[in-house]
Amino acid sequence: MLLAIPAVLLAAPVVAAGGLHATFPLNGSQEVPSVSTAGTGNAVLDINAAETQITYSVTYSGLTGPITGAHLHLGARGANGGVLFALAGGPSPSPLTGALTAADLAATGDVSTFAQAIDAIKHGRVYVNIHTAANPGGEIRGQVPALLPPTDVAPGATAPDGAPSGTVLLLVVGIAGLLVARRRFGTASR
């Protein structure tokens, strides 16, 4: 029974002290359509506990030239979308860092408030895109992973971001724990 506790903890959302945290890669294969590039990057997003600020750090290297812009866009994996927040408006050195608030929001699609932008980020409907002159639509992209377990995914199904649902993880870890406990305690009683 005690082995089920770690299983529950493993299925919990990614929660940093006082807020939410995501780290994810950027590359050309995530662009729509995909871009052949040596460019790569990494992004870190943190949402504070009050959900009034997003801090970011985006590193990149190997691009075809200086960046012409970098943004957080509204869009699911495999789809392009409008700009929610500007991270850089022109050539900027790596890393790109800063903090975003409601004053920085550019309403697009079904997102017109900061709370809606936070909700879109939590549900994996936002991506980071770095643009260059050679690739004005974006040279490297990174989809923000969902920060909340999906509530509308059936057990055993795949979440919209392509990852197994938390229920599947919980089930697998729980079964493994029961097998270990049965083996350990079952062998000792014989």
- Report d(CA 57, CA 39) in Å as an integer: 17
Q: Is residue 139 part of a domain?
A: yes
Q: Which domain holds residue 59?
A: 13-148
Q: Is residue 27 part of a domain?
A: yes
Q: Is residue 181 part of a domain?
A: no
- Bridge partners of residue 126, in order along the sequence: 74
> Residue 152: exposed, middle, or buried by beta-carbon count in 10 A (0-12, 13-18, 19+)?
exposed
- Report d(CA 118, CA 175) in Å as an integer: 35
Digit-coded pLDDT (tens) for 39-68: 999 999 999 999 999 999 999 999 999 999
Query: What's the CATH number where 34 sits?
Result: 2.60.40
Higher pLDDT, 65 or 18: 65
- Do 96 and 88 meet the contact criterion of CB atoms below 8 Å apart? yes
- Bridge partners of residue 74, in order along the sequence: 126
Q: How many domains does the chain have?
A: 1
What pLDDT, on the 0 to 100 scale, is given for residue 111?
Answer: 98
Digit-coded pLDDT (tens) for 134-189: 999 999 999 999 997 555 545 555 444 444 445 444 445 556 555 555 665 555 44
pTM, to two decimals? 0.72
What pLDDT, on the 0 to 100 scale, is given for residue 83?
Answer: 98
**Alpha-carbon torsion (91, 92, 97, 98), positive or negative:** negative
Q: Is residue 125 part of a domain?
A: yes
For the chain, the residue count is 190
User: Is a pLDDT exceeding 80 seen at residue 119?
Assistant: yes
Q: Is residue 180 part of a domain?
A: no
Q: Is residue 7 part of a domain?
A: no
- Report d(CA 128, CA 41) in Å as an integer: 10
Q: Is residue 153 part of a domain?
A: no
Mean pLDDT score of the chain: 82
What pLDDT, on the 0 to 100 scale, is given for residue 186?
Answer: 59
Q: Is residue 58 part of a domain?
A: yes
What pLDDT, on the 0 to 100 scale, is given for residue 148?
Answer: 75
